[in-house]
Amino acid sequence: MRRYDVIQSTVRLLGPSDPIICNIGDPCMELHDVRDRAANFYMLGSLGLASSIGLGVALGREKTKGKIVVIDGDGGVLMNLGSLATIGRYCPENLIVVIVDNQSYGSTGNQSTATTSGIDLSAIARDSGITHSTGVNSIKAFEEAFQEALTATEPAVILARTNIEKPKVARVEIPGPVLRDRFMEAIR
């Protein structure tokens, strides 16, 4: 399975104004290519902080307004492992963290990450108190897990094990302040 497929399924299964906070680099470009929407928050800097930003949005938003989805990567989660512990501590029921694990820092030349040696980030999430945490190896399994997470009454982590394949897509050329303002307006 490719990351692009995971992103496509995520967007298709969500409502048009459900927030998606997306990891820096190729994931942002792919999300933008799949569907640009005001409720997409493309990170243009700060590798590792997508899950922290998602946690903040989830804690600050009324639970009745639906789920907040984070699309992060193995490299991003490894850079900020403490974020899983913080999510486990506060347990916002409206947060779904999708971790795309391609065992590499894909945006900087596919250098291998620690998950290459068998480290299971969904197990770390579970041990951090996020009990609704699972790993999937196919797009069918991902969609089933995602639909389950959408109706869960607790935070969810879905680790999607993907290959490193990526389609050629354009950069996100929208200025940061515009992204911020339209995101805030969309999720209000």
Binding footprint of Mg ion on the chain (CB under 5 A): 73-75, 102, 106
Q: Measured from the CB of residue 143, what is the shortest distance to Mg ion in angstroms? A: 21
Q: Give the burial class of 1: count Cβ atoms within 10 A of its Cβ; 0-12 exposed, 13-18 middle, 19 or more buried.
A: buried
Q: Measured from the CB of residue 75, what is the shortest distance to Mg ion in angstroms? A: 5
Of the pair 44, 152, the CB lying nearest Mg ion is at 44
Of the pair 40, 102, the CB lying nearest Mg ion is at 102
Residue nearest to Mg ion (CB): 73
Of the pair 37, 166, the CB lying nearest Mg ion is at 166
CB neighbourhood size of 63 (10 A): 12
Residue from 118, 63, 58, 111 nearest 86 by CA: 58
Q: Measured from the CB of residue 21, what is the shortest distance to Mg ion in angstroms? A: 16
Q: Measured from the CB of residue 112, what is the shortest distance to Mg ion in angstroms? A: 9
Quote the radius of gyration of the chain (alpha carbons, Å): 15
Residue from 141, 109, 24 nearest 73 by CA: 24
